[in-house]
Amino acid sequence: MEAILHKCRQFVEGIYNEFDGSHDFAHIERVLKNAEEILTEEPSANGDVVRLAVFLHDIEDAKYQSANNPSVTEILQAIGASKELSQAVIACIDSVSFSGGNAKDLTSIEGAIVRDADRLDAIGAIGIARTFAFGGARGRKLYDASEIARDQMSEAEYRDKKTASVTHFYEKLLLLKDLMVTTEGKRLAEQRHDYMVGFLKQLERETGL
């Protein structure tokens, strides 16, 4: 299994490093670190499925899709993953995305771990940095006082509207703490959430938002 994980890491690193700084391979490494922390409190979970799902979870992200990039299925085949392992990994990945609050239902503890680990990297200090990195890469405003954060939206609406970076905190990031599933994920999210709240209060003082 170590050989499969090593091959997967080598296969995907170059792909992710073509993405902007919010979703590069450093993001994958941080999500893996989060997942390893959660795994220590979830002994029944299949760690190999979790690790492979972490490596592959953004390969087919709609924001970065390219005809030149292989699919998750193609990568799993190329690294020699069994059919059973591939199915478990793909099912795990399917439940990760936020999608404007329209995420798919979790079907396994492995999916819960990967989702929580990924969402932890979207909040706290690193979440703030990633939000502005993504916004800068997409030419988004830092903030827009006239913009009203949406509390209901379809996946297409969430993807397509070019909202200011600060608006993203209210449409997604501040919601994630209460959407954590694992006990350790919930614990780790608390401090990161509080840090974001403090940041937004300071930003309000500086900008008059």
Above 80 in pLDDT, residue 67? no
Contact 122, 172 (CB under 8 A): yes
Closest CA to 120 of 203, 72, 184: 184
Cα gap 113→66, rounded to integer Å: 27
Q: Show the domain range for 130.
A: 2-207
Cα gap 124→177, rounded to integer Å: 10
Provide the phi-psi class of 208: left if phi over 0, else alpha when psi is between -120 and 50, else beta.
left
> Mean pLDDT of all residues in the chain?
92
Above 80 in pLDDT, residue 166? yes
The CATH number linked to 186 is 1.10.3210.50
- Summarised one tens digit per residue, pLDDT across range 105-151 is 888 999 999 999 999 999 999 999 999 999 999 999 999 999 988 88
Q: Copy the structure tokens of residue 122.
A: 């979207």
Domains in the chain: how many in total?
1
Question: Please, which pLDDT band fits residue 101 given cuts at 50, 70 and 90?
Answer: low
Q: For the residues 74-88, what does the mean pLDDT come to?
A: 96
